[in-house]
Amino acid sequence: MNKQPYGTYMLTTIKPMSKDRPCPVLILQTSSGDLVNFKLDAGQPFTASFTDDGSFYCTGWYDIELHSNHICPDAALVKPGFGSCFACRQKTGFNPGFYNSDAISDKQAAYNKKPHSVYVANFGGSFYKAGMMSTSRGLARIHEQGALFYAVVGEFSNADLARTLEARLIGQGLKNSVLKSQKQKLYQNIYKLDRSHSLQQFQQKLTNLGLDGVNAKCNIDTFLPPVSLDREISNIPADGASGVVVGAIGSYLVLRNEDRLAAFWLDKFIGRNILIEDTIQNIEVAPIQQSLL
């Protein structure tokens, strides 16, 4: 296992687990403005805690052509939930709801002309979502959302054509977003999930949507080792987290602390200064909520 950069950093973004990335990666900004990768390898101790006064900092801008992260040159403060400052958002030049906008950036116009795919994602139970993604990103969009099951249902030469199918599927009743609170209730009882039955239901859903000939696939083993799914996953409500890394469903990091599985959303650390340590501390967890599966 490679030596990890433990210490104090600002978390800028999270790269999720995937078939090509066997562990989630935190993109951390140092006090000198460098970006370093922190790999959350399964089996390693991990403790993270806030070290600041509650301030949120700009996480920088993203190059949509090269798929690379860059720091904010102004180290700007932002409001909670904003992620990036106005200047960095302008430099990124990307609007996911471009089809509702009167004007888009030159960067996005060029990006939209490239191949895009449409997918259907399932997060457990009846939570189905339709979305679109750039073919250049592979399945990254599906993985970062934490889709337990998915199917790529169409491939197109540009984003406008992909949007036509996405809009049709949403018009047929699929969601265009799923709340974290909804995902969390499903994830916490993932060990009870009957994968075979869920795939059969998904396949029938695709048929009902007029998407014959498309195969649904399971993502669970990509996110979590099968041996780990032996009990409920408790939620960590406190300002910090600690345990041995098990895996991550999108940005929902699952840790083993003593004899419990506990998890928290890594997103809550984005834009904040945090201390990452190679230790395990006792943590308080929230009670399990009733399963929706």
* pLDDT 10s digits, 125-184: 889 999 999 999 999 999 999 999 999 999 999 999 999 999 999 999 999 999 999 999
- 177 burial via Cβ count (<10 Å: 0-12, 13-18, 19+): exposed
How many Å apart are CA 69 and CA 235, to the nearest integer? Answer: 30
In the three-class reduction of DSSP (H, G, I as helix; E, B as strand; rest coil), residue 37 is classed as strand
Please choose, from the candidates 105, 289, 255, the residue with its C-alpha nearest in 3D space to the C-alpha of residue 182. Answer: 289
Residue 290 confidence (pLDDT) above 50: no
Query: What mean pLDDT is predicted for residues 99-119?
Result: 93
Q: What is the pTM of this model?
A: 0.89
The percent helix, strand, coil of the chain (3-state, each to 5) is 25, 30, 45
Please choose, from the candidates 254, 167, 149, 246, the residue with its C-alpha nearest in 3D space to the C-alpha of residue 206. Answer: 149
Residue 259: pLDDT band with limits 50, 70, 90: confident
Please choose, from the candidates 277, 281, 273, 252, the residue with its C-alpha nearest in 3D space to the C-alpha of residue 5. Answer: 277
Tens of pLDDT, residues 179-210: 999 999 899 888 888 999 999 999 999 999 99
Element at 154 (helix H, strand E)? strand 149-156
Query: What mean pLDDT is predicted for residues 20-35?
Result: 91
Residue 293: pLDDT band with limits 50, 70, 90: very low
How many Å apart are CA 185 and CA 54, to the nearest integer? Answer: 27
